[in-house]
Amino acid sequence: MTIVPYRRSVGHNAAISAIGRRRTRDRQTAVMLAGPGILLLFILFILPAIAVFAIAATDWQLGAKSFSFVGLRNFELLWQDADFWHSMINTLAFVSVCVPVTVGLGLIVALLIEAESGFRAFYRAVHFLPFMATMAAAAIAWESLLHPTIGLLNQILRSFGVQDTNWLRDENTVLPVLGAIFVWKNLGYAMLLFLAGLKTIPSDLYDAAEVDGADGPLSRLATVTLPLLGPIAMFALVVVALRAFEVFDIIKVLTQGGPGKASEMLLYTLYVESFEYLRTGYGAAVSVVFLLIVIGLTLLQVFVLDKRVHYQ
Amino acid sequence: MASISLDGIGKSFGRTRVLKRISLDIRDGEFLTLVGPSGCGKSTLLRIIAGLELQDEGSVRIGDRAVDGLPPKARDVAMVFQSYALYPHMTVERNMAVPLVMRRLGALQRMPLVGRLAPGTERMRASIAADVRKVALALGIEPLLARKPGQLSGGQRQRVAVGRAMVRQPAVFLMDEPLSNLDAKLRVSMRAEIKELHAKLGVTFVYVTHDQAEAMTLSDRVDLMIDGELVQIAPPQVLYNDPDHVNVAAFVGSPSINLVQATALSEWLASAVRWAGDAGNLDGVTIGFRPERLSICNEGTAGSIAGRIRLVEHLGADRYVHIDIARTERPLIVRTHPHDGPDLAPGATIALQAEPKDMLVFDAAGRRLRKRPCDATEILIARSSA
């Protein structure tokens, strides 16, 4: 008997190189498939974002041939700018009131619609319509409703003996009115999210709750519905908050930030600085602040949604 | 502890009648299984007992009271669901505590934060936690108390669901296919655990399954339902050996019973069994042979029927032989021991024998013919006792 020493065969090496070739081919395919998307993302989103950061460090004015780098000077100005802070506080107040109200009402409407089987599609459509409407057009309709003399709202109030209010020209009412329009517009969206969320709750859980004794409307809500809607509610809060931060169209159409600067908000300030005063560098600095808020909210969403409850 | 009595329960969903006036008495401490093909109404019946579904007619009594007007929580029943229905956001401990919290604490005491301030809440919470721990220990799930359902395996979730049912010591356990989401091996071991649990608790169990093996192994009595009707209710052995209906015979047993049109066997019946009466008697009559009640013999043995082996399946302890005989569509399956009888190979010609007493005879409507009305069966019975 002879002992054959172990040797790597030629076939073995050939197999290795065949696998290597296949790997290269797979990589090429991946680049070809993902490449165009990455390129577009780069051109349309990442480059402009970098440009905004760069412009924010200059004193460039829109259309100007020359500019110089000023470092963080724009942010320093921003910090000292009372108008910017006024706009910022307006925005924060708007967001902190409108978002919970929108999401809360959306939840209530969704629960009411789910509770009764009749006219479900009708109620769903009615509440969702405002979200589908073009905001600029809807804003004009709101303007006529809110008109101080011929507006429907004041006419109704007058019949109850209430004094006329110039809703959009009174600095005490302008923000609440804009907030109400925002809620009207976005309620349907929150409602739709919750309706979808309610559908994902297994009916077995309600049965189990009923056998366990949680069969009243409130205890059922507390035991099953609300906890299981938690992740959806988080998502709705973040998305509605993003929409509230970027409120622009109703301000532009209805108030132009007025009266005075009573209804000026972050995105409108950004627009005015960049495109009306043409202080593009300064506007870019506002953009950076805005961008940081949006990124913060998005990270919050990713972070919290990652830890969401797993449904079995 | 409670008996359950159903009297003429009927239920329709829209135009579909899912339960057709079902009457049934379940004894105190009994393990009764509702079994049947899917859509036969067994789950609906269980949900009606639980109070999750309201019957259209008839009444339900648990113990000595009619419970028709009572919500599930007042019926003193606990239920284990097929999906386990554990609250995904709660830990195992909180899941198991829910039935006790809902019963022992008032609405105010249940409120977060505020509830803690209400008098007696702390003491109640402590006693609930102690009860939960006791049940968890008994079920061997104590180490899991702090986990959430998403972090548990299927078998563990199943055990938690049983624990949640046990924790408030109900008079009746209702189980809706509790094992069907488990893999085959786990199902067998959980089956044994449920049987032990029943022996230990001694309360009434009503168990729904479509798995005949579960029904046969677990139950004191099995209630076989088909198309919203109760076909036969009997202990598992009776259901297997002495079925009332061809559907019962066909549903119970694996591999399932061989059902052959009697007309296809007329010559054999005449020669081997001396089937009396004219051939017209055999019209529509079906004869069933359990696979283990057929035996294989050499070709030409007196009183046998010739056949040809189509397929042999080896299962270790058993061997299933598929045999084609003349004038039948499907082969007959014979269950033999691997070392019994002649060496069997596909294509071989052999013969089959059966004792007359092992033949189950059913009329055209599927009803079992025991003695009357067919005189042919009388001969069968007479010969078997001779």
Looking at chain B, the whole-number percentage of residues with pLDDT higher than 90 is 41
Q: Mean pLDDT across the stretch B175-202?
A: 90
The pLDDT value given to residue A9: 60
How far does chain A reach from its first CA to its final CA, in angstroms?
62
Chains A, B: CB contacts under 8 A, how many? 80
- What phi and psi, each to the nearest 5 degrees, are found at residue B311? -155, 145
8 Å CB contact of B84 and A213: no
8 Å CB contact of A218 and B52: no
Compute CA distances B14 → A72, B11, B17, B18, B56, whole Å. Answer: 72, 10, 8, 10, 11
- The residues of chain A scoring below 50 in pLDDT are 309-312
What residues of B are in the A interface, CB distance below 8 Å? 47, 50-52, 71-73, 77-79, 81-90, 98-99, 102-103, 107, 110, 148-150, 157, 164
Is B306 in contact with B278 (CB distance < 8 Å)? no
Residue of A nearest to B85 (CA): A205
Please report residues of B whose CB lies closer than 8 A to that of A311.
88, 150
The pLDDT value given to residue A4: 57
8 Å CB contact of B71 and A219: no
Written as one letter, the residue type at B55 is Q
Residue of B nearest to A205 (CA): B85
Task: Provide the shortest C-alpha distance from residue B13 to chain A (in Å).
Answer: 16
Q: What is B4-246's CATH superfamily?
A: P-loop containing nucleotide triphosphate hydrolases (3.40.50.300)
8 Å CB contact of A312 and B89: no
Most B CBs within 10 Å, among A203, A307, A308, A312, to test the B interface? A312
The pLDDT value given to residue B262: 81
Q: Is pLDDT of B274 > 70?
A: no
Task: Provide the shortest C-alpha distance from residue B150 to chain A (in Å).
Answer: 5
How far does chain B reach from its first CA to its final CA, in angstroms?
48
8 Å CB contact of A208 and B81: yes
8 Å CB contact of B87 and A210: no
Q: What is B255-385's CATH superfamily?
A: Nucleic acid-binding proteins (2.40.50.140)
Task: Provide the shortest C-alpha distance from residue B357 to chain A (in Å).
Answer: 48
Q: Mean pLDDT across the stretch B258-268?
A: 82
Task: Provide the shortest C-alpha distance from residue B230 to chain A (in Å).
Answer: 25
Closest CB from B78, B85, B157 relative to A204:
B85
Q: Mean pLDDT across the stretch B354-371?
A: 80
Residue of A nearest to B167 (CA): A212
- What phi and psi, each to the nearest 5 degrees, are found at residue B356? -55, -35
Mean pLDDT of chain B: 85
8 Å CB contact of B82 and A211: no
pLDDT tens readout for residues B83-113: 999 999 899 999 999 999 988 887 777 777 7
8 Å CB contact of B73 and A211: yes
The pLDDT value given to residue B271: 59
Most A CBs within 10 Å, among B87, B148, B172, B180, to test the A interface? B87
Closest CB from B83, B98, B150 relative to A202:
B83
Task: Provide the shortest C-alpha distance from residue B89 to chain A (in Å).
Answer: 6
Residue of B nearest to A310 (CA): B150
CA dihedral of B27, B33, B38, B42, whole degrees rounded to 10: 20
The pLDDT value given to residue A62: 79
Please report residues of A whose CB lies closer than 8 A to that of B67.
none
Q: Is pLDDT of B275 > 60?
A: no
Q: Is pLDDT of B28 > 70?
A: yes
Residue extents of the structural domains in chain B? 4-246, 255-385
Burial string for B282-296 (b: 16+ CB within 10 Å, else e) reads beebbbbbbbebbbb
Task: Provide the shortest C-alpha distance from residue A219 to chain B (in Å).
Answer: 8
The pLDDT value given to residue B379: 45
8 Å CB contact of B157 and A312: yes
Q: Is pLDDT of B374 > 60?
A: no
Task: Provide the shortest C-alpha distance from residue A200 to chain B (in Å).
Answer: 13
Residue of A nearest to B102 (CA): A213
Burial string for B303-319 (b: 16+ CB within 10 Å, else e) reads ebbebbbeebeeeeeeb
Task: Provide the shortest C-alpha distance from residue B236 to chain A (in Å).
Answer: 30
Q: Take residue B167 and report the two structure tokens written for it.
A: 């924790």
Helix B121-139 vs helix B92-104: angle between axes, to the nearest 10 degrees?
A: 130
ipTM: 0.80
Least confident window among A68-82, B31-45, B54-68, B332-346: B332-346
CA distance A274 to B331: 87
SS3 A148: coil
Q: Which residues pair with B174 in a beta bridge?
A: B79, B206
Other CB atoms closer than 10 Å to residue A135's CB: what's the count?
Answer: 19
In terms of Cα–Cα distance, which of B55, B32, B69, B375 is closest to B235?
Answer: B32
Q: Give residue for tokens 């702090």.
A: B146
Angle at B109 between CA B106 and CA B111, to 5 degrees: 115
Q: Is pLDDT of B375 > 50?
A: no
Q: Is pLDDT of B269 > 80?
A: no
pLDDT tens readout for residues A82-118: 888 999 999 999 999 999 999 999 999 999 988 877 7
pLDDT tens readout for residues B333-342: 999 887 766 6
8 Å CB contact of B78 and A211: yes
Question: Hey, do B4-246 and B255-385 end up sharing a CATH topology, with the first three levels equal?
Answer: no
